[in-house]
Amino acid sequence: MKVHFLGTAAAEGFPNVFCRCQACQDSRKAKGRNIRTRSSVIIDDAWRVDYPPDAYYQAVRDEIDMSKVNHLLLTHTHYDHLCAGDLLSRIEGFAHGVEEPLNIYGNDLALHQCRIGFLEEGSIQKQFMMKRLIPFEVFWIGQAKITPILADHDPRETCFLFFIEKDGKYLLYGNDSGWFPEKTWDWLKGKKIDMAILDCTVGQNGNPKSRNHMSVETVIEVQKQFQAWNEENAKTQIIATHFSHNCGLLYQDLLEIFEPYGVEVAYDGLIKYI
Ligand SMILES: [Zn+2]
Ligand SMILES: [Zn+2]
Ligand SMILES: [Zn+2]
């Protein structure tokens, strides 16, 4: 599986263009891996998780052919994860030569946002297929088996994380979430996980079970949990992402903090294979 990180920031982006805090000022100067757009990944160049407001820029920057991306998995509807109106650019007339419909998978709210954004117009409907996800109910994309599991995030909607099994490899897409809910831990327990992408929005807060979003300490606690299960999961590759400027940490700071634990720090454009 190829996992391409298109964006690795929390909601405001890093830097937040409106913000004068030290981290934002430093990231503007340092550039490179300190410029983070809103979080999203693309898997095997064919399907992506979330459609942030930066999706257009990400595709141009990393030379992604979005006409070939036929599956969109949505974690939840926060504005950094779903910019539904932007998907109108994919319809015939606005775009040319897009053959397949876009399959959109998400919770009720996410699909509703898409519907009011563009699906009421009859001729457009066949260009988008929508599937409502139920927690822990498996769905398939070709040979890939995907389970939407519950996040600890916004209690006003059913926020999902994704457990993806493809070509004998296992990927946990774990943002946005705080310390996982009990149901999710029960479901995950003992499963082989080759790679886990984890939320690290808040940086260091001293809380190994941070709620709503994870912290450095929570990411390390999740790693300990995996290690406690079995030897195989002691080798799980953990990648931290979804960083907020409010954490006050630049790329180099994060590298130094996570280095002793073997946790990788995501940056925009990072490509990993499992
Ligand atoms: Zn977010
Ligand atoms: Zn800032
Ligand atoms: Zn969120």
Report every protein residue that has its C-beta within 5 angstroms of ion ligand 1: 80, 176
Kindly give the distance from the C-alpha atom of residue 239 to the centroid of ligand 2, in angstroms, as a whole number: 23
For each of the chain's 274 residues, which pLDDT tens digit applies?
999 999 999 999 999 999 999 999 999 999 999 999 999 999 999 999 999 999 999 999 999 999 999 999 999 999 999 999 899 899 888 999 998 999 999 999 999 999 887 655 555 667 899 999 999 999 999 999 999 999 999 999 999 999 999 999 999 999 999 999 999 999 999 999 999 999 999 999 999 999 999 999 999 999 999 999 999 899 999 999 999 999 999 999 999 999 999 999 999 999 999 9
Peptide bond into 148 cis (omega under 30): no
Which conformational region is residue 63 in: left (phi greater than 0), alpha (psi within -120 to 50 degrees), or beta? left
Q: Cα dist. 86→40, 94, 114, 164, 176 in Å?
A: 15, 11, 10, 26, 21
CA of 174 to the centre of ligand 3 (A): 11
Q: How far is the CA of 262 from the centre of ligand 2 (A)?
A: 27
Question: Which ligand does the CA of 20 lie closest to?
Answer: 2
CATH of domain 2-273: 3.60.15.10
How far away, in angstroms, is 12 Cα from ligand 2 center?
Answer: 9
Domain residue spans of the chain: 2-273
- Which ligand ends up closest to the CA of 24? 2
CA–CA gap between residue 39 and residue 20 (Å, rounded): 22
